[in-house]
Structure 1
Amino acid sequence: MGDDSAGDFGTSYYRSLDPIKNLQIRVHLKRVTGSSLVPKAVLPGGNRNEDVAEGQEGIPLKPLRKKSGAAGGGGEGSKAQEEEQPNTENEDLYIFDWQEKVFSRREVQLYSNEASCEGPLEQKYFTDIKQQKAEGGRKTKRIFSYTDYDSFTHKEEESLTTTSPNEEPSFLAEKMRNVRRRKKMERRTRDAQGDPMLMQRRTNLVVERPSEEQKKSSHVIDTPMNTMYIMADLGVMDSEPKEEDECTLCTIKVSMGGVITVSPDFTHHRDPYTIVTDSAGRDTFQYTLTLASKSMSSKEQARENKMYHELLQRHTDIITAYVGQDFEQAPPSTLRLCILGEIVSAKNFEYDGLYVHYFVELPRHWAADRAQMLSGVTQTCFTKEINREYTSNFSHPFEMELYYQMNEFTEEDQDTLPKWPQLFLEVLSLDTWQRYRTEGYGCITVPPNPGTYTFEVKMWRPLGKSSYDDMRRFFIGGSPELEDPSYVSVPLTHDGKVLSRFGLKTETTGSVTVKLNLMQQSRAFMDQISSRKNVGTLIDRLGGMTVQSSVAGVLDLFQKARKRMQAAQDKLTTI
């Protein structure tokens, strides 16, 4: 009908905990110009100027009067009365309640005939219009509304993919534009005897063999929203009402979660929205949207806050009754370590059909439950070339729960750093001829701090003393193995100061990616938070934040510096 301009027509979203029935919106519509840019005078006697075309409206001119003095002082009062009672033709003001039905001129003509009202909704509208005429007619001249029960759908509502203003709607959006996506009233008819109390279904709800047209029209996702449209009839009031003259002023949508969508937003203190009609006269209208809901008093707000607080407290009590107050705590002087790990993948090994055997070795003062599994084997996975690397993806999860006990300390343990558990990995291969081969060994020391870690463990395997071992590995399988897989690191049974591996020939193979999620629980942490003091006894022994973490940090920096030196030497050799 018209072109919208001179205003921010963006959509705003509000969230309200109050019932939606309390929503009220004040709409003030005013025609700024008449049928043309130059006002046409209307004489007091009722005669129009000859230039005024038939069917057009003119702006009435006030007769000239002499200014009244103090004795006559009624000018300001009459002006106030004119502002309180706007012109019904050029200005319209109304306060809408949520889902309040206000009929338009076209609807009054349509539903005034009882013969054209078939469904229960049309019958209700016929009764309302009849009662409205008995009470004096329509309350507004141009403003009306469409509720959620009406079969109106805004033609300009499109489901666009992006927010770009240059995007054009797709073919599906064009077809879905006119499809009503809100709940529909069930159409019923009277029975054969004409009894209005006995209603029968016009069609069966279940269609055994739907046609293609029924599939397209019925398979529509219903949006869980209630919609209300505030409209305006911008046509000439004396002419026949047309549907083309109707223009949407505001669209209000309310979801089940209490989110209110207002498009366009309330004007607040901004300039009013402007609409220019497409008619020959190019009439210009301005309108404002303001929130007219009654504000709550301080007593009502206090009563509502108290009610919400009681409801929340009751909900908390119910959850507490379900969960209970017995929270499992770690024993005194004990650290509980929960390991949630994953063997992600293995890369760049010689043979296919890989699987990983892993186990955790517990140092002194560490323990686990008897039912706890400290070892496991992954599934067999065949390799696939990804980014020029032969990769076997395992995604094998494992879970362990370990305890570090302080009550078993002796005087010799007071001056030694605690050792953390180690995760040992052994990669093996199995081909279709049932030939087993050892592909590599590796190990990880569990970090002392909680958090998420990702390790890429470099693997190696021992070599034989002659080419006979290589030939046996290739033809019949089998290869040199370690009798004790913990030999990859320093075994717990080793008592000496130096572990010599002189004479052992090894070969670098591939790598295994491991993820670890670590959680720590101890009563010492709670004591530290409650007392706000440094609890040094248990924390120092656990090596969480003190000496061991410092040593680990220094070693990490040393390894990084060593890698940078090796990279620099490689560049010099290439030059």
Structure 2
Amino acid sequence: MDPTSRDKVGVYRSNDPLRSFKIEVTLRKVAAGSVFSPVPLPNARANQEGLELNEMRHENDSNTETCVFAWQEKLFSEREEDFYADRNNCLTPLELKYNDDVVAVKASGGRRNSRIFTYVDHDQYTDTTECVATETTSSQQVTSYLVQNVLNVRQRRTGARAAFEVTGRRDDGQAITSRIDPVAIPTSAESVPANHVISTPSQTMHVMTDLSPADRLGQLEDEHLLCTLRADSHGVITVKPDFNQKGKRYYIENTEGELFEFTIKHVSSPMSRSIKVQETNMFRELYGRHSEILLSAVGQDFARPHSENEILFCAFGEIVSAADFEYDGLYVEYFVHLPDGWKPSGLDQKLTGISNISYTRQTGDRTVAHFGFPFEFEVLFNSELLEDGQSPHMPEVYLQVISLDFWERHRTEGYGRLVLPQRSGVYQENILTWRPFGRGVVSEMRRYFIGGSPELDDITYVSKPTGFTGSHMSRYGFRATTSGTVVVRLNVIQQSQKVIDSQRRDQGGRTETAASAAVLSSFSAALDAFQRARERMRNVKESLKY
């Protein structure tokens, strides 16, 4: 974009108070009358339209005006001063305040500005160029009905603004409403989303100039916008047009053909070194207190096993899917069985659960029900219970797949088990299931018509029944049939202070050796927790009987 184009917009962000924000605007009359000639002249500079700049003579310093503005600082124009000087013209509290300000300015020697003045956020002013915004730069563009309605919907702030008439008074309710300024009165919680309004609190300030001839200043038709400043509650400052680059200027022309140039500069006072150090220390203290609050909420350290010989075993799993079962409407019940020497890490650990019901869909030549059901638990094991060279008996997860149809008939579709791995890592297991098969056709008819089906009285029969102490177990005579497959994804983590200490003593040891030590020194135990687990199993047995 051309650096002299007044369509440039600068967007800045600052956390400092706006009362420190200042800009400097310099206005200079370049030439009187027309300064462009269509005839090429020597030593002349071509402008964008291919015309030649005939003459650009700078007037004396009396035609140059420079003003420095603070944020929301009000400077009156010649027309405003004449209007507000008469108290009979002032009706609203704001107009009465402006009357007092004008009287005070005249008493102090008059205005310090001549052509440059400002409209602050409280003033009734609208930039009419926003009312006729077009989508292209073509002079032949015709705005469609749809475009007009879209422009009126894109609201960015609220608050009515009208344009001054020649008298300086608001006209008879016929306000010039900008496309960024429609008003819904009265407003309500329902009207705001209905109007698609994203209203960020903001303030606006307009820097204006009166380009009327010097002998008749104060003409409304010669008031022109130089710069618009907008700041919102998030610290975003928008400047249109943007601050001038080095050596660049903006140009503006009045109705008489007189050409003016102006520049906009940021002249806020730089922060002193002592204030910078003070602000840095303040933010450091603020962030330090915030970190202390977060640390007190999270805790000083991660939870560790109660003793050096205990190993914490964390399992984070997901029942992914089930496939190739006979009936639809599947859900999975799971139960974590803890062998001797194991215990939950806390009373809040949930070792049983039921998944959501999922209906199957055809995937290739298989019928698959997707669950995505997560589960997790933490258990402890005491490595002192292990003899040299002995590996611990790992916990097992027992699964029971059940179907539920429209008539609320429950059928056992299959049993399976998952032995938790001894090594940390990520695993995905395909668990093959089976179900008990009754003798004769009566049990299958009962299963089809009323949903009854043979079930296990003790779900641990899937692996090693509770109370069995022999070395061999015969299942001769037990009738079963194969069923579908359950996919389980598992993430396993182990934590042991003893292993960490051994790694510190042997910094050159291989990671695989440390992992082997973690396996041999596995997890923590307590008899009371095991008794609670057995009580849960008894409850499961009682529920399965019915």
Same fold (TM over 0.5): yes
Q: Sort the Cα spacing of 1:436 and 1:60 in 2 relative to 1 into closer, same or farther, 3 A.
A: closer
The superposition leaves residues 372-416 of structure 1 with CA deviations (integer Å, 9 ceiling, x where unpaired) of: 43112245x363769899776766554422124323331132xx4
Distance 1:152 1:508, change over 3 A: farther
**Residue identity opposite 2:243 in structure 1:** F
Structure 1 residue 115 and structure 2 residue 88: aligned? Answer: yes
1:175-574 correspondence to structure 2 within 5 Å: 181=158, 214-215=185-186, 219=191, 223-233=199-209, 235-238=211-214, 240-242=218-220, 245-255=223-233, 257-269=234-246, 272=248, 274-277=250-253, 281=257, 285-315=260-290, 328-331=303-306, 332-341=308-317, 343=319, 349-362=325-338, 366-369=342-345, 371=347, 372-378=349-355, 381=357, 383=359, 398-413=375-390, 416=391, 421-444=395-418, 446=420, 457=430, 460-462=433-435, 464=437, 468=441, 470-479=444-453, 506-509=481-484, 511=486, 521-523=495-497, 533=507, 539-543=515-519
Question: Over the residues paired in the alignment, what is the CA RMSD in angstroms?
Answer: 5.2
CA contact (8 A) 2:31 2:57 kept: no
Please, which of 123, 131, 134 is the counterpart of residue 104 of structure 2? Answer: 131
CA separation of 1:484 and 1:321: change in aligned 2, threshold 3 A: closer
Q: 1:490 to 1:262 in 2, by over 3 A?
A: farther
8 Å CA contact 2:10, 2:243 repeated in 1: no
Query: CA–CA distance in 2 between the matches of 1:249 and 1:268?
Result: 15
SS of the residue corresponding to residue 121 of structure 2 reads coil
Partner of 1:569: none
Q: Deviations over 1:338-368 (max 9, x none)?
A: 4455546656644244331101234565431
Aligned to 1:14: 13
**CA 1:437 to 1:26, structure 2 compared with 1: closer, same or farther past 3 Å?**
same
TM-score, reference length from structure 2 = 0.65
Letter in 1 for 2:14: R
Letter in 1 for 2:507: K
Which residue identity is paired with 1:298? R
- How far apart are residue 21 of structure 1 and its match? 1.5
Contact 1:153–1:180 (CA under 8 A) maintained in structure 2: no
Consecutive unaligned residues of structure 2, counting only runs of 5 or more, are 38-54, 162-182, 521-546
- Amino acid across the alignment from 1:303: Q
* Partner Cα separation in structure 1 for residue 334 and residue 249 of structure 2: 71
* CA apart distance, 1:141: 3.4
Give the equivalent residue in structure 2 for 1:174.
152
CA distance in 1, matches of 2:8, 2:297: 49
**Aligned match of 1:47:** none
Q: For residue 263 of structure 2, what is the amino acid of its counterpart?
A: T
Residue 24 in structure 1 maps to residue 22 in structure 2: yes
**Aligned pair count?**
459
Q: Do the aligned residues in 1 keep the contact of 2:250 with 2:263 (CA within 8 Å)?
A: no
- Cα distance in 2 for partners of 1:233, 1:454 equals 74
Give the distance between the partners of 1:60 and 1:136, measured in 2 at CA.
Answer: 32
For the 8 Å contact 1:23–1:97, the answer to whether it is kept is yes
Identity over aligned pairs, percent: 31
Instruction: Give deviations 1:188-228, integer Å, cap 9, x for gaps.
Output: xxxxxxxxxxxxxxxxxxxxxxxx97347995568453323
1:458-516 CA distance string (max 9 Å, x none)? 6543474888254443223344556765676799979989999999875453655x565
Offset of 1:117 from its aligned partner?
1.7
Q: 1:134 to 1:370 in 2, by over 3 A?
A: closer
TM-aligned CA deviation for residue 307 of structure 1: 3.3
Over 3 Å counting, the alpha-carbon distance change for 1:120 and 1:339 in structure 2 is farther
1:140 alignment counterpart: 113
